[in-house]
Amino acid sequence: MVIFVKNLALIMTFFKNLLAAILGCLVAFGIIFFIFFLFMALLGSGSDTVEVKSKSVLEIQLQAPVSDYVGSDTEDPFAILIDPSMGLDQILNAIEVAKNDSKIEGISLNNVFSIAGFAQTQEIRRALKDFKESGKFVYAFGDFYMQKDYYLASVADSIFINPVGMMDFKGLASEVLFYKDLQEKTGIKMEVIRHGKYKSAVEPYLSNEMSDANRTQIKELITSLWQSMVTDIAEGRNISAKNLNVIADTLGARNSEYALKSGIVDGVVFLDEYENKLKNATGIALDKKLNTIELEDYLLNSNTKMKTSGANKIAVIYAQGEILYGEGSPNTIGQGIINKAIRKAKNDDKVKAIVLRVDSPGGSALTSDIIWRELELAKKEKPLVVSMGNVAASGGYYIAAGAHKIFAEPTTITGSIGVFGTVPNMAELAEDIGINAEQVGTNKNSVDYSLFEPMNETFRATIQESIEETYTTFLSRVKEGRNMNSLAEVDSMAQGRVWSGVDAKRIGLVDELGSLDDAIAEAARMAEIKDYGIRKYPKYKSGLERLLEDLPGASAAIKQNLIEEEIGTEAYSILKEFKSATEQKGIQARMPFALDIK
């Protein structure tokens, strides 16, 4: 009987494992068939040429995230499954193509709820302004306007708002969360070593309130950004900067009635009435259908029409995201992918100059220096120009510092020349819950740190020494790259402090205020070429390749999305910040705080 029970148990285990294997195969085959049919469906839908009808209006909404560069073909059916972002380079090119497209009569900014950054928004706004110079119109409509959306809309010939719509126009603000009390209550804290009085990325772990130095830099930063926005809005709306600030201070545009009286908008209309205005502007009878084409569709046509061409090339290398040690990805900067792109551009005889487009809050100091070195080698061969996007701070500035010339947008956030290190520690929690860690080592310092023991002074002193050495190296890179007189001069504008593009130009951290196109034009001038094409780097894998690689992590991404939906974006951002802090490895040259400007 005992033998029978044992055999039965073995048989049951066998069938259990067999069933699991069968289910696993069915799931795998299901995924493969799903991908195949999805591929065929998307391939079929993407193969048709998008028709642009006569007297069409290009409709721009920008409700997908905007990256400087997505690195994938708009006809790639799997690209959107991996990354729904739109490329700023594609958006700007589409507006330029529409400017010269006889079938496009104008552009409609229809309920733009932009996820683009301030500098990206400024570049798109500039492109729309250039579009208007062709004699075509730009109209804007919103059920409500957030500040960044209105800033973009302010370039329009006419701005309209829903009769029951609202407007957020009150000036910029930034909020920083502090976690010192939370650390004390949980017994889990971040041990911090830093250099730079403004290097406040770690301040939330050390204090319950904002330091005067941090408050000063945030105040000056957002004031400079706001002034740049107000200057552009004043020009676009023919309202003085002084009056715009009065409107902001009094919330004088908070609803449609006040917005109209203040001159912030031109009309209060419903969407159907707005569409009639578009018909009038395009010369279409009111009883006829308005021809519109969405930006996402227009990209399929515009991406085949580049603004410049020629045998000579200018390489544009996009460095976007956090700087992490390793290969890198479309959303992170690693020395692997970026340095490979730099070497390709350097060794290509057709490439006459290199433009590095930086949009990064920084990260690993080691990786930043590895990339800096590769750029130093490249600039000995060819002109090197940097274009700064939304953020080019700390490690992002580190890799930019050696360029022959640096361009930034007025609303770019840059600088933050400083370094820090954070080490998680849960000694207090371990003591509270009864965990005791004992270490055994062969030498005096072989056991230098334990998560479950307080940080000893020898380990802290060693890390502090590395921080100081890295900071001095950072200063020297900037001194050499920017041709400054001394390390003391660099230190006076460093200490981890962030600057707007306007202030960075004033103190000499950047050379010119301008767009990516301005940087490319300067690179062409330095290379002494007039007719040229653009080669974009890095070259990423196709959407299908990335989808197959990411299948094991797909469920994790879905879980993250579900968590964000359940607890809200703000709470989720706090969780992400904690996760990022605990995963940081090595000394960091990173933005001094999680900048949330509203």
By annotation, the residues acting in catalysis are 199, 394
String of DSSP letters for 183-252? HHHHT-EEEEEEE-TT-GGGHHHH-SS--HHHHHHHHHHHHHHHHHHHHHHHHHHT--HHHHHHHHHTTT
> CA dihedral defined by 171, 168, 576, 390, rounded to 10 degrees?
-60
Phi/psi-derived region of residue 477, left when phi > 0, alpha when psi is between -120 and 50, beta in every other case? alpha
Residue of 300, 380, 355, 265 lying closest to 537 (CA atoms): 355
Distance CA 323, CA 336 (A): 11
Residue 86 · residue 112 · CB < 8 Å: no
- Distance between the two ends of the chain, CA-based, in angstroms? 74
String of DSSP letters for 308-349? ---SEEEEEEEEESEE-SSS-BTTEE-HHHHHHHHHHHHH-T
Question: Which helix H or strand E contains 56, and what residues bound it?
Answer: strand 56-60
Distance CA 386, CA 319 (A): 10
Residue 358 · residue 399 · CB < 8 Å: yes
Distance CA 179, CA 51 (A): 54
Beta bridge partners of 60: 109
